Amino acid sequence: IANLRAERAKLLGYKNYAEYIISNNMAKTPEAVYDFLNKVMEPAMVAAKRDRDEMQQIIDREGGNFKLAAWDWWFYAEKLKKEKYDLDEAELRPYFALDNVRDGMFYVATQLYGLSFTKRTDLPIYHSEVEVFEVKEKDGKHVGLLYLDYHPRPSKRVGAWCGRFRQQTYEKGKKVDPIVTIVCNFTRPTDDTPALLSWDEVNTLFHEFGHALHGLFTDGEYDRIAGSLARDMIELPSQIMEHWAGEPDVLQIYAKHYKTGTPMPVDLINRLQKSMTFNQGFETVEYIAASILDLDWHSFSEPQKVDVLEFEKSSMQKIKLMDEIYPRYRTTYFNHIVGGYAAGYYVYLWAGVLDSDSFNAFSETGNLYNPEVARKFRKFILTEGGNDEGMIQYNKFRGKEPSIEPLLKKRGLK
């Protein structure tokens, strides 16, 4: 596959497939991506080694008499997390009733953009569990419809995603409003308990809602570019919403105990906040390792005959990957690079820089719902879609190019 892609890139006038793909992204060149990944890798590796040493201390205290290995990492990471933060998922779930979390994300969108969400029971639905909300502007103007499909059932694929029944477009000069869907696989409610989400699921719902807002706000003349962005920018609308999910003031709005209705205690919020940076060194390093492996496979200038395992080994030696961490995906099960993300796995971390820097645009004003910042983000990021170059759009919103510093701070790497 890598050789065929190398041939294709050469036929199209590019040095390699990575150059062909990235030329249309914000990064523009593979060299810029390598440089970016290396800049983040350095502090991430320091944090990962620190966590490794602390886990080794746990092993030694318990009389394990062995050296931490890659397959031990998650087991001892959980022990270290419990030791550091005394945080248990079971302690959090009662505060994350699905309906409350949904109302919390609607609250954020209302504060940012003045939207209203009205449940509609008179519209067709494809399953009895699906909810439909009409989305309107502050002045009552119709924006679109949002379908929410929360729970697993036979024939439904796993995971969570945002889709569209109808893309925003124009027909004969008249705007056709979008119909957007969020589909998840959250645990069902029982007779006496509502659906209670994990913290990861809370972030998932906010994440997909960010994609949904992008789909609702987009205003493109052609449906091919409506709701689109540069590939390494496409996760910005979704990932920025996750920031609000974990803000203490926002948690006070929606994180309420399903039995008593009392808000999440401040102590628990503080412990949750502190835990958000835990293990980020490891997660960042394993991600970057996979991203570099992806880029290396797509940097052939000519077809090559290579041994897969030896190629991986050489790729990881180049970045001095520590023995206790493997790439998040190895070549033989790296679905992303055969499923549309070839030479593009790096985009999630690139978008992490964008969302952290973008959120800073709000927080540095002292108002997480600053109306002028929200207006610019909506106009230049969510509405314009693929109408312009990604970096040009970002500069219009932010007034500068993105910095990696907010990302490093958010992940506890600085």
Q: What percent of the chain has pLDDT over 90?
A: 87
Which residues, at least 6 apart from 267, have a Cβ–Cβ distance to it below 8 Å?
none
Is 221's pLDDT higher than 80?
Answer: no
pLDDT at 389: 84
* pLDDT tens string 172-209: 888 889 999 999 999 999 999 999 999 999 999 999 99
**Which whole-number Å values give the CA distances from 348 to 89, 149, 233, 238, in the listed order?**
25, 25, 8, 11
Nearest 5 degrees, angle CA 366-CA 368-CA 369?
A: 120
Is 153's pLDDT higher than 80?
Answer: yes
Question: How many separate helices (H) and strands (E) can be counted in the chain?
Answer: 16, 7
pLDDT at 227: 55
The conformational region for residue 261 under phi > 0 = left, psi -120 to 50 = alpha, else beta, is: left
Is 224's pLDDT higher than 70?
Answer: no
Homologous superfamily of domain range 1-114+198-414:
Neurolysin, domain 3 (1.10.1370.10)
Which residue of the set 19, 131, 171, 208 is catalytic? Answer: 208
* pLDDT tens string 24-33: 999 999 999 9
* CA–CA dist 133, 125 (Å, integer): 11
pLDDT at 124: 95
Is position 324 annotated as part of the catalytic site?
no
Alpha carbons within 13 angstroms on the beta-carbon side of residue 189 total 13
Strands 142-149 and 161-166: unpaired
Q: What percent of the chain has pLDDT over 70?
A: 98
CB–CB of 151/174 below 8 Å? Answer: no
First to last CA, the chain: 39
* CA–CA dist 195, 150 (Å, integer): 10
Instruction: Say which residue the tokens 């477009």 belong to.
Output: 169
Is 400's pLDDT higher than 90?
Answer: yes
* pLDDT tens string 47-76: 999 999 999 999 999 999 999 999 999 999
pLDDT at 152: 97
Please name the helix (run of DSSP H) or strand (run of DSSP E) that holds residue 407, with its range, or none: helix 405-410
Strands 179-183 and 142-149: parallel
pTM: 0.91
Select the more confidently predicted residue: 142 or 231.
142
Mean pLDDT rounded to a whole number for the chain:
94
DSSP letter (8 states) at residue 97: B
* CA–CA dist 355, 239 (Å, integer): 6
pLDDT at 127: 95
Least confident of 105-114, 203-212, 229-238, 302-311: 229-238
Domain ranges of the chain: 1-114+198-414
* CA–CA dist 93, 198 (Å, integer): 6
CB–CB of 164/144 below 8 Å? Answer: no
pLDDT at 133: 99
pLDDT at 88: 84
pLDDT at 223: 62
Is 386's pLDDT higher than 80?
Answer: no
Is 277's pLDDT higher than 90?
Answer: yes
Which residues, at least 6 apart from 395, have a Cβ–Cβ distance to it below 8 Å?
401
Long-range contacts of 201-206 (CB under 8 A, 24+ apart): 201/96, 202/96, 202/101, 202/245, 203/242, 203/245, 203/246, 204/160, 205/101, 205/102, 205/105, 205/160, 206/105, 206/108, 206/241, 206/242, 206/244, 206/245
Maximum alpha-carbon separation in the chain: 75
Phi, psi of 302 (to 5 degrees): -140, 155
Mean pLDDT over residues 273-301, rounded? 96
Instruction: Say which residue the tokens 């052609």 belong to.
Output: 222
pLDDT at 307: 95
* pLDDT tens string 339-381: 889 999 999 999 999 999 999 999 999 999 999 999 999 999 9
Q: Report residue 338's pLDDT band, with 50, 70 and 90 as the boundaries.
A: confident
pLDDT at 280: 97
Query: The tokens of 318 are what?
Result: 């180049």
CB–CB of 44/280 below 8 Å? Answer: yes
